[in-house]
Amino acid sequence: MSESRPVITVLRPSDPDSPAYEPPGLDQISDRAEIRLTDAEHIVDDIAGADALFLWDFFSGALQEAWSAADRLTWIHVAAAGVDKLLFDELNDSDVTVTNAQGIFDRPIAEWVLGAVLAHAKDFGGNYRLKTTKTWDHRETKRAQGARAMVIGTGAIGREIARLLSAVGIEVTGAGRTERDEDQDFGVVVPSATLEEHFGDYDIIVNAAPLTPATTHLIGPTTLAAVKTGAHLINIGRGASVNEDALITALREGPLGYASLDVFEQEPLPQDSELWELDNVMIAAHMSGDVHGWRDSLAELFIDNAQRWLDGRDLLNVVDKDKGYVPGKRSAS
């Protein structure tokens, strides 16, 4: 850190009309640090001499292109839980500390998953479609209580999902890197490398895993062929964890019955994607964690961490760059 006031560069979106153009609350640290506001076009100039970087534009890949100019960087905070869009070899090999926004999205995403489970079980989509034609069609729906769910990813988000699903009587099992027989939230955790051996036992499959080389296309032709007939797949992790071609085939031809998707391999989802045409798919625009006030919460977490950094205290949510997530008792798997 420099002898004078440290420099914190803030990468914000290029569009000044964006609702997230500038993080609130930066005035709380402006007397202790020089704040440089920049965008992808100007980051090469504004990262030079900076001690810290706040990736407010958290999906931007501009840092990698500007990395050679980052001559004094010691800390990066990204305003997102997933860091797969950020990490690259040069950063991973450096001594720069990376922190993220773990904890901000846990409950909102878990609520979204629970809502998707109940909406499918109670056929809310069918109600909306029938309403457009003023059709009165009495039918029976599924009971959520007693269903079995597998949650892939035993980190903070996966655990919150497990707690909410359990609260309505759904039996939950986890899938992660390490097999466990006694887990406080999942009971049993099976190895994610053996999903095809277990998928057939579950009515609901939730992907909440971070994107790593091990989880890229983790759900593909083999695993999808092994699911229980009529099973419901929910993806709130990363789009690239699911092979979309195999997913479309499994939805068209079986055995998969329904999919609730919030993330995709390409975002926005291309207009020519076959997923738009399928009646047994619910599509959301990567918004499962974005509740009212979420940007304020992201900014508050950064300010808290910045004050810790300025004080020389331990930072919150330090990412293991090799693993791609925040490790610990409830680390993602």
Q: What is the pLDDT of residues 114-128, one digit of tens each?
A: 999 999 999 999 999
Contact 301, 289 (CB under 8 A): no
Catalytic residue among 65, 197, 267, 277: 267
Taking residues 285-307, what's their average pLDDT? 97
| Confidence label for 189 from pLDDT (cuts 50, 70 and 90) | very high
User: Is 107 tagged catalytic?
Assistant: no
Please give the Cα distance from 169 to 161 (Å, whole number): 13
pLDDT at 333: 32
**Structural domain count, the chain:** 2
Q: How confident is the model at residue 327 (pLDDT cuts 50, 70, 90)?
A: confident
- Regarding whether 112 and 250 lie in a shared domain, the answer is yes
CATH of the domain at 36: 3.40.50.720
Domain extent for 117: 106-279
Residue 72, pLDDT > 80, answer yes
Same domain, residue pair 272 and 152: yes
For residues 111 and 259, state if they share a domain.
yes
Catalytic option among 286, 295, 300, 308? 286
Tokens of 324: 């791609």
Decide if 319 is inside a domain.
no
Residue 1 has pLDDT above 60, yes or no: no
Q: Do 169 and 237 fall within a single domain?
A: yes
Distance, CA of 185 to CA of 92 (rounded, Å): 31
Over residues 125-141, the pLDDT tens digits come to 999 999 999 999 999 99
In a domain, 324, yes or no: no
Q: Is 286 a catalytic residue?
A: yes
Domain presence at residue 328: no
Confidence of residue 3 (pLDDT cuts 50, 70, 90): low
Q: Which of 12, 36, 177, 238 is catalytic?
A: 238
pLDDT category at 4 given cuts 50, 70, 90 is confident
Q: How do residues 190-205 score in pLDDT, each as one tens digit? A: 999 999 999 999 999 9
Same-domain check for residues 249 and 225 = yes
| 217, two tokens | 């296309």
Over residues 54-68, the mean pLDDT reads 95
| pLDDT tens column, 227-239 | 999 999 999 999 9
As a whole number, the mean pLDDT across the chain is 95
- Whole-angstrom distance, CA of residue 331 vs CA of residue 257: 31
φ and ψ of 319, to 5 deg:
-85, 135
Q: What mean pLDDT is predicted for residues 267-290?
A: 97
Single-letter code of the amino acid located at 31: D
| Domain-embedded: residue 202 | yes
Is-catalytic flag, 238? Answer: yes
Whether residue 128 is found in the same domain as residue 147: yes
Q: Read off the pTM.
A: 0.91
